[in-house]
Structure 1
Amino acid sequence: MRSATQLPRYLALAYALLIGYACLHPFSGWQPSGLPLFDFVGAPWPKYITALDIVLNVLGFVPFGFVLAAAQPARWPRWAVVVLAAVTGALLSFSLETVQNYLPTRVASNVDLGANALGGLIGAVLGVFAGRRLFDADGWWHQWYSRRLIHGHLGDVGVVLIGLWLLAQLSPKTLLFGLGDIRSFFDLPTPLPFNPERFMRLETAIVAANVLAVGLLTRSMLQRFSLTVIVVLVLGLGMRTLAASNFYVPPRPLLWLTPGAIGGLAAGVPLLIAGLLLPRLIRHMVAAVALLAGAVLVNIAPENPYLVFNQTLINQGHFLNFSGLTHLVAGVWPFLALGYLSAINLLRSNGR
């Protein structure tokens, strides 16, 4: 039989899409390189490759191999699952490296291909042992899933959505929990000039709206209220602390703890407590309004001129890919969350 949850399949699909975006970002300047399409396969060892590049390329594909192996039917022999997951990872990497021939900001590399394939293989081996035990009916995840989450696809998709929200918190250019900024996608200017007092009020409103929205969204994927709602928000603060420790100059782990953020948390937590007491349908409506309000406020908020990014780190190849990826997720997440809330209401209204 298959794993007791479809979560590994959703994670594998989401991770493959994220890898594809990171490897092809920024999707501009498409043109033929003039070289044979598969010339990179037999190219000599490149001079610009470092040990860190190789390690990151290996590590980047380990989770993909892991969840892909865990998603396969339990009746399949382990060697077949390892081969399938490893070959799929290698084919994904080969496809992306080939497409990179048409991007002037990218360099197709057989070293990257080999490192990605090795990472997929390592992840697949781990997945057939640890992954299956994690996601099968007797595994820890299924036990927690059965007690906490709503059953079926909605529960699995909700977990992926929360995972994407946590990933978005690593975007260094966003305010605390402030997602939905789509101005850069359409090359739109900042509508308001920077004013310290107004910026603090906007930040307070953004944080409060998103605490309410994320808390209620997390509650929507649970069978009943649990401390999972609080844990998700605390993990979000942890991810912001991690980002502030690495992407700013000088590194300041609590850089996100501004007066506006403190005010937003102080206002958002009571609003969330009150929202959790509402009936399910009204909770979902409040969450949707809070998501939209937070996105609107983010798009009218000016840039914070006091933030100094570690451009040396961010402009490096892998970190540039990662920055572009987190920026995309941060921009589209509120709209994915709105779609999720709509799906829950639609399916439950139909008795499913």
Structure 2
Amino acid sequence: MMLSSHNSTPRSHVALHASLINAALIVFLSLYPFSGWTDNGLPLFDFLFYPLPYYTRFFDDLVNLLFYVPYGFSLALIRAPRWLGWCLALLLATLTSVAMETCQQFLPLRVASNLDVIYNVAGAAVGATLATFPLMARVWQQCQQLRRYLFVGDSSADYALLLIGLWFMTQLNPAIPLFGMVIFPEGLPQPYVSPLSDAQLFLSLIEGGSAMLNLAGSLLFLTCFLRQRQHQVRAVLYFLLTVVVLKLITAGALLKPALFFQWVNLNVVYGLLCGLLLVWAVTRGQRWPQTIFALLCLLLSQVVVSFWPLSVFQPDVLSLFRWRYGHLLNMSALVALITDLWPVGAFTCLILSVRRQLNH
């Protein structure tokens, strides 16, 4: 969700869209599940002047800080000069945080906190400083040079990089398999009528098929924006390594120790191997076939997932974790939201890319 440009006009639009995406995620995470609204009768902004809470949770404070870092980063890139972008980022982040905490006063499962506002604004300040601090200018200049060297020059590649950053967030739930889009079949809803006589085989095919199509679609989404074919292998390896590291970190932090490898099984492994073979075959060709196949894989992945009968929120899935129940629901809901909306953004970006290729 972070960007690396300060001056160019197309990139400023990407920064604006990144800010809107970050704001939408913040609203969702702050107010989910959007139910049980009640008026407690307290003055709206009194919580801002309460004494700071004596007992705090390190994890909550860390999330409040980190979630606003990309928000402040993208806000700071909307306007130039740097000092104006930094001030704008802090102002808008402060207004966003105060608005979210104020709304939480009307939710029975939420508590409005002035400490949360402090951590939110501090995170935004860190992000804005990283985006505008003069000592970081050389770093971002190198990032821009690397982007121009590796990826195609049109703005669709900028949006693709933004979407790739969002895609990694779909892998943050270790109860969902590696590159998978469905949870493991711990049980079947009853009554359940399978399209195949063997219901377990049908679920295994969906499990492996969704992993294959998600891997192929996401990797082809990446490779079709690369400038030269020689960069494909390295880009794919880095992409795969990042996903595996994310799964290892989230599994170690969230799952019970005995369930550390809950996110992988033979069905998923077979699906991933088939997906890699498909990517290898498609990337032998030019850019436009990769773009078309990326569209097809993403479309078919949605079709396959539509046959899955289980919910990611069922109790036997939540029992895999060692987190608090409320945190699990928020995290699972956020990942599910991004997973549902990401293909829409990817389709749009790929269609924009196809139009650019046809025009050239």
Structure 1 length normalisation: TM-score? 0.83
Q: Cα offset for 1:83?
A: 2.7
Aligned to 2:45: 38
Counterpart amino acid of 1:98? T
* Range with greater deviation from structure 2 (85-94 or 233-242): 233-242
Unaligned regions of 5+ residues in structure 2, if any?
184-190
In the alignment, what sits opposite 2:160? 158
1:89 is aligned, of 74, 93, 109, to 93
SS in 1 for 2:221: helix
> Is the contact between residue 194 and residue 202 of structure 2 (CA under 8 Å) also seen in structure 1?
no
Match of 2:245 in 1: 238
- Are the aligned partners of 2:76 and 2:131 in contact in 1 as well (CA < 8 Å)? yes
Partner of 1:168: 170
What is residue 199 of structure 1 aligned with on the other side?
Answer: 203
How far is the alpha carbon of 1:252 from its aligned partner? 4.4
Report if the CA contact (8 A) 1:161-1:337 is conserved: yes
Superposed, 1:141-152 pairs within 5 Å as 141-152=143-154
Q: Which of 118, 127, 146 is equivalent to 1:114?
A: 118
SS in 2 for 1:240: helix
Which shifted more, 236-245 or 19-28? 236-245
SS at match of 1:278: coil
Higher relative contact order (CA 8 A, sep 6+): 1
- Worse-superposed segment, 274-283 or 148-157: 274-283
- For these two proteins, the number of residue pairs brought into alignment is 337
Q: d(CA) in 2 for partners of 1:115 and 1:190?
A: 47
Q: How does 1:120-269 map to 2 (within 5 A)?
A: 120-129=124-133, 131-135=136-140, 139-179=141-181, 192=194, 195-225=199-229, 226=231, 227-250=234-257, 252-269=259-276
The superposition leaves residues 115-166 of structure 1 with CA deviations (integer Å, 9 ceiling, x where unpaired) of 212222233333322554333xxx1211111111122321111001111111
Q: Could you tell me which of 314, 331, 334 is aligned with 1:325?
A: 334
SS in 1 for 2:176: coil
Q: SS state of the match for residue 323, structure 2?
A: helix
Structure 1 123/337 Cα, relative in aligned 2: closer, same or farther at 3 Å? closer
| Residue in structure 1 matching 2:323, options 295, 302, 313 | 313
Q: CA shift at 1:266, angstroms?
A: 1.6
Counterparts of 1:302 and 1:245, CA distance in 2: 28
TM-superposed CA distance for 1:168, in Å, is: 0.6
* Matching residue's letter, 1:315: Y
Change (3 A) 1:77 1:147: closer
Q: State the partner residue of 2:34.
A: 27
**CA distances 1:253-305 after superposition (whole Å, capped 9, x unpaired):** 43333101110122111111111123433332222221122122223234499
Counterpart-to-counterpart distance in 2, 1:250 and 1:293: 35
CA RMSD of aligned residues (A): 3.1
Report SS of the residue matched to 1:327: helix
Aligned with 2:202: secondary structure?
helix
Give, as a single letter, the amino acid of the residue that structure 2 aligns with 1:282. Answer: P
- 1:61-100, aligned counterparts within 5 Å? 61-73=68-80, 76=81, 78=83, 80-100=84-104
Out of 267, 281, 287, the position equivalent to 1:280 is: 287
Determine the C-alpha separation between the residues in 2 that align with 1:228 and 1:239.
17
Specify the alignment match of 2:60 in structure 1. Answer: 53
Give the Å deviation of 1:311: 4.5
How far apart are the structure 2 equivalents of 1:69 and 1:288?
33
Deviations 1:64-117 (A, max 9, x none): 2233334442xx254x44333222211111121122233332222222112212
8 Å contact from structure 2 (residues 69, 123) kept in 1: yes
Q: Match of 2:186?
A: none
Alpha-carbon distance in structure 1 between the residues aligned to 2:172 and 2:274 = 23
- Residue identity matched to 2:265: T
**Residue 90 of structure 2 aligns to which amino acid in structure 1?**
A
3-state SS of 2:173 partner:
coil
* 2:344 corresponds to: 335
Change (3 A) 1:3 1:191: farther
Q: What is the rounded CA distance, in whole Å, between the counterparts of 1:166 and 1:190 in structure 2?
A: 32
1:310 shift after superposition: 4.3
> What is the Cα deviation at residue 320 of structure 1?
4.3
Q: Secondary structure at the match of 2:60?
A: helix
CA gap 1:93/1:126 in 2 versus in 1, 3 angstroms? same
Change (3 A) 1:330 1:121: same
Counterparts in 2 of 1:143 and 1:39: CA distance versus 1, 3 Å: same
- The answer as to whether partners of 2:93 and 2:124 remain within 8 angstroms in 1 is yes
* Counterpart AA for 1:25: Y
- Consecutive unaligned residues of structure 1, counting only runs of 5 or more, are 182-188
